[in-house]
Each structure stands twice: as structure tokens, then as C-alpha cells.
Amino acid sequence: MNADAPPNLQAIQESLKAYALKNGALCAGVAPAEAFDEAPEGFRPADLLPNAKSVVVVGGAQPRAGDWISPVHEHMESMGTSERINALALKLAKQIEERCGYYALFVPPGVNKANQPFLSISYAAVLAGCGSRSLAGPVLHEKYGFMYYAAVITTLPLPGDAPAAPACPAPECLDMWGERGTTPCLDICPINQGGCLGGKIEEGKFVERSFNRVRCATRVHTHWVPGFQKVLEETLNESDPERRKMMLYSSFFTRTLWSITYAAQSQAQCFECMRVCPVGKEHRAKK
């Protein structure tokens, strides 16, 4: 950037997005920091970076096609792909500071107070035009479907991107709703039958959505930090030394340690709602 000339912010925004796409992202977008008005106080961009003006979002690094069809689901309990998109976001933050001369802060993938994320990455992805909300919960890209997202907050006042077209419900889901009153994700995990998801579609859009967060968490984070905390508490309270040793060296505890060691953010073990989602299915179909 030339310090003597006003910056072409639109050109800078496009160059940052092009850099992200060249280096492995499947999508990239920008949201104004002031747009996060639905986020609670303490969890907005300016709470992490004073004078925040923009949030740059990148998406990609979703599980590979082979991961989706493997009958041995345990392999996804001890590995993760999300760290690749986090690494790219860190590089993007470096580009903004070194080439543009503005502050840039990579949003940590962990949790802050009350087990809440430092910034809702899914909310940021929607505001940045990288995807849209779904009946199942995750933000879906209209072309690639489910993916992981990472975000960078910056004082660089970028113009921002328009919202993405809704990816959910997909045409296949509308057909299924018309025939059976359900969709693939609602059918695989129905909230009224012990599952986590519920919802209603009217005039081609979902108008109601139910999500049992507590029930889902017991299935999604089975072998991640909550699982580690649970088995650690049980082990510490176990008085029998032989049983305590069995618990520590069990396959459950071992997989849990692998999971939290090789996952850079909250790693899910239950992907069933996304496994049956038709959005992006053509990218998951291989020979």
C-alpha cells in the first residue's frame, strides 16, 4: 500500500480473498464488524480487537469423501481436518498486518467464558456471505455444503460481501418434505424420537427449527474435551487401583487423548445429519 494515496479497499478485499482461495480455501468473504449486533456483549469483534472494522472469513478443509463413506467411524474420533483452515487464517492475518499495515487478529478456535466461543464463527460465516444457516445447524455453502470456517478480525475497513443464497433446504429436501413431512437430516435424528433436530418448511423455506443442544453435545463431543473431563473425574473417584488402571488404558480414553491432541478446535464425532445432507453431495461422490 502507498501511504500517500488512499487505499483501494475493494481491490484489497479481492486480493485477500484471492490469496485465501489460492492457498487452500474453498470460499472467502468479509463482514463488517458492526454487523455482529445479534452477538452478546463480550463476544463481538471489537471485544477481541479494539477499533475492529472487518471480519475476514475463510472456509474449507472439510472431511474427505472417503471419511464420509467409511463404516469405521472411530477414525474420525482421533483425527481432524479443521487445523488446515486455521493455519490459512493465521497466514491471512500476517498478510493484513505486513502488506496492508493494519491490525489483524486470528479468532481462537477454543472457548472463552461460560464455554462460549470467543466469536461465533458460524455467525461470521453467514455475515461474510460464505454460507447460510441450515435445519441441521451447521452453516452450509451452496456449492460445497458442510465445511470448517476460520475468521480474522482486522482494523482494515473493508467494504464487505453480500449474503449468500440459502443452501437449505435443497431441492431433494423439499421433495422429501412434500412426500413425508421430513428431510434427510430431520429423519436421521428426529427430536421427537430421542434425536436432536426438528423443524418445519413452508413455501420452500424452513420457518421453524428445534435443536436439543445438550442431547447433541453428548454425542458430538464423545471423545473430545468433555469426554476427557468425564473419564478423568470417574478415574479420580475410582478407589479400586486395578479398575482405575483399566479406565486409564482403555481404548475410549486412548482415543480421547488422540482426539484432543490432533484437533485444533471442537471436533465432532457425530456427522450423521451432514452425512445425509444433499448439499455438496457431488463433491463427496468418488469411484
The model's pLDDT over 48-60, given as tens digits with 9 standing for 90+, comes to: 999 999 999 999 9
If you search the block for the grid coordinates 485477500, which residue do you land on? 16
pLDDT at residue 104 in the model = 98
Q: Tell me the average pLDDT of the chain.
A: 91
User: For 82-109, what is each residue's pLDDT tens digit?
Assistant: 888 999 999 999 999 999 999 999 998 8
pLDDT at 77 over 80: no
pLDDT at 79 over 90: no
Q: Rounded to an integer, what is the distance from CA 184 to the centroid of its chain?
A: 20
Looking at residue 24, its pLDDT comes to 94
In this prediction, residue 220 carries a pLDDT of: 80
Residue 217 has pLDDT above 90, yes or no: no
Q: Which residues 6+ apart lie within 8 Å of 184 measured at CB? A: 172, 173, 176, 273, 276, 277, 278
- Residue 252 confidence (pLDDT): 85
| Per-residue pLDDT tens digits for 232-276 | 999 999 999 999 999 999 988 888 888 777 765 556 678 889 999
Q: Per-residue pLDDT for 23 more than 80?
A: yes
E strand or H helix at 31: strand 27-32
